[in-house]
Amino acid sequence: MSTIHPSPLRRAWTRLLRLGFRLLYNEMAFTYDTVSRVVSLGQWRDWQRVALEHLDAPPGAAILELAHGTGNLQIDLLAAGFGPVGMDLSRAMGRIARRKLRGRDLPARLVRARAQALPFAANSFPAAVSTFPTEFIVDPATLAELARVLAPGGKLVVVVNGLLTRRGVAEEALEFAYRATGQRGPWPGDIEGRFADAGFMFARVDHPLDGSMVSLIVATKQDATHP
């Protein structure tokens, strides 16, 4: 069977996109909130908050957020009565999130770490969440670490995508941009199989909102004694 290799133009485009995302998460992190609001026509925060409805965790529970970004979901988790812990590799995002939380007199329980090497004990969290992550979230090493730190039966909720369902000029233009930049394309590999290999029961969920549809992954850690 022959292997199909991406064209040089496609490879160059992919490298350019990765550079753009790296700048947005690091040197240009101060623009992240504005960019996300513009590209979602103001719905980005609503898309993030959908995750709260799928956590299935008790009040006061410690919730791990992977890639906390500018700290917006940390604020939402605290407002919902949870005890969130945020993790991000970006120093710039950490600085912004701490400043935002402390400006609201909220606790900032944030750590800088890689998702593939979480600095937490086994079975530490009843739930974990990540909104609009990059491909690190489906790295087998990330999933293995999440399976380690989640308690049996714990949920991993990933907001993968938000799709504008109203059709106007602005929506059509943004949807074209999403597809052109590959943000509507699938992640590589057998995603469901990766979750299963890490010990998760995998489900895809479409959550409708007014004017948009949010796509999520909801994965449940299986008890090893009860597969």
The CATH number covering residue 129 comes to 3.40.50.150
Q: What is the pLDDT of residues 62-109, one digit of tens each?
A: 999 999 999 999 999 999 999 999 999 999 999 999 999 999 999 999
Q: Worst-scoring range by mean pLDDT, 50-54, 114-118, 159-163, 214-218?
A: 159-163
In-domain check, residue 227: no
Domain that holds residue 217: 8-221
Please check whether residue 72 lies inside any domain of the structure.
Answer: yes
- Percent of residues, the chain, with pLDDT higher than 70: 74
Query: Does 2 reside within a domain?
Result: no
Helices (H) and strands (E) in the chain, counts: 8, 7
- Predicted confidence at residue 18, as pLDDT, reads 59
**Is 3 contained in some domain?**
no
**Is residue 70, in this structure, part of any structural domain at all?**
yes
Q: Into how many domains does the chain fold?
A: 1
Q: Is residue 82 part of a domain?
A: yes
Q: Give alpha helix (H) positions in the chain.
A: 8-25, 32-39, 44-49, 72-79, 91-103, 140-149, 169-180, 191-197
Confirm whether 185 is domain-assigned: yes
Range of 22-26, 27-31, 56-60 with top mean pLDDT: 56-60
Say whether pTM exceeds 0.85.
no
Cα Rg of the chain, angstroms: 18
Domain assignment present for residue 21? The answer is yes
pLDDT of residue 29: 66
